[in-house]
Amino acid sequence: MPTTVITGRDVTFTIGGNTFDAQATSATLTGTVNRQTYETLDGKAYKVIDNDFSLAVEMLADWGATGSLCEILWGVAESAPNTGISTVFTAASGAVFTFQVLPTWPSAGGTAPDAQTVSLTFQVIGVPAENFA
């Protein structure tokens, strides 16, 4: 099988009907299986009891900008911390994941003279729906 190099990826957040995607510099969706192992008289038995997904996002900070995603995320984390944010993550053309994440507080600041960046790790609600076309 020939080597395939994938370079496309994009993440879009929809909050209050507004769509944000231009600030992201990195996005990684990660899933973990919580599997229990039981020792029986017949040998080992396995049971998946939960799945846990997270979305790690690096983005340029946009504090103070009109319609700032950082400020909106801060407000949502403060006012509705248990309400999902609609998210679409495109790993490559034809591999699209749709899910909701729980709000988290964005960081502020950074080192000089670099641009301010924000690192966020969102808890994903449930298992992402995938569309592999």
What's the rounded Cα separation, in Å, for the pair 15 and 22?
Answer: 14
What's the rounded Cα separation, in Å, for the pair 105 and 80?
Answer: 12
Q: Which residues contact 44 (CB under 8 A, 6 or more apart)?
A: 37, 38
What's the rounded Cα separation, in Å, for the pair 16 and 72?
Answer: 10
Q: Is 77 helix (H, G, I), strand (E, B) or coil?
A: helix
Q: Spell out the domain ranges in the chain.
A: 12-131
Its pTM stands at 0.82
What's the rounded Cα separation, in Å, for the pair 133 and 31?
Answer: 21
75: its two tokens: 């407000």
Going across the sheet that includes 95-101, the strands are 18-20, 10-15, 85-92, 95-101, 117-132, 43-60, 24-40
What's the rounded Cα separation, in Å, for the pair 92 and 53?
Answer: 19
Task: Judge: domain 12-131, CATH 3.30.160.
Answer: no
Cis peptide before 113 (omega within 30 of 0): yes
Per-residue pLDDT of the chain (133 residues; tens, 9 = 90+): 677 666 666 677 777 677 777 677 888 899 999 999 999 999 999 999 999 999 988 888 888 888 888 898 999 999 999 999 988 888 877 788 899 999 999 988 877 888 888 888 999 999 999 998 8
Q: Is 26 helix (H, G, I), strand (E, B) or coil?
A: strand
